[in-house]
Amino acid sequence: MPLVALIILAIILVRAFATSPPPELKTSCTAPAIALSTTTQKQHHTVRWSVTGPGGSVFELTLGVSRVDVAAGGQLVFVPEAGGSQKTEQRAGRQQTMPKSCKTSGAFGVLVPPGRYTVRMFQLSGPVTAPTVAEVASAPLTVTAQH
């Protein structure tokens, strides 16, 4: 990712955390779910999220990814949604472990071009060298032009 994009993303995230609370979401330690702060957002702006699910489970959020395949050595391969490419998908953060409270929140900067996408929550389980990856929750997101 170019340095300029990282700087823009950092500014977006600082603004988001300073000004808006995470979206409401009922806590469940059994049924994973995701809530977004909006269903439509401009490119290069921030989307806040809340997720819930079993405490201790490992998850990752993506945007524009239809599934996650596992290659040799446990390397994750992100497969874009139909008609997409690497330019139309992004990881919406790093892999995280759900806290014991069964709920957490965060934000991501929208880096994909305008279009209709799905934010997906994937749960990872099993050994790091050969994990099982399953989609456990999703939410729609429409990205509009920045202007």
Q: What is the pLDDT of residues 86-111, one digit of tens each?
A: 788 899 988 999 999 999 999 999 99
Helix (H) or strand (E) holding 95: none
pTM for the full predicted model? 0.84
3-144, CATH topology level = S-adenosyl-L-methionine-dependent methyltransferases (2.20.130)
* Domain boundaries along the sequence of the chain: 3-144
Q: How far apart are CA 144 and CA 142, in angstroms?
A: 6
CA neighbor of 105 nearest in space, from 142, 59, 66: 59
CA atoms lying within 13 Å on the CB side of residue 71: 5
What pLDDT does residue 74 have?
87
13 has pLDDT over 80: no
Beta strand extents in the chain (DSSP E only): 33-36, 40-42, 46-52, 58-63, 65-70, 76-80, 90-91, 96-97, 103-109, 115-125, 132-144
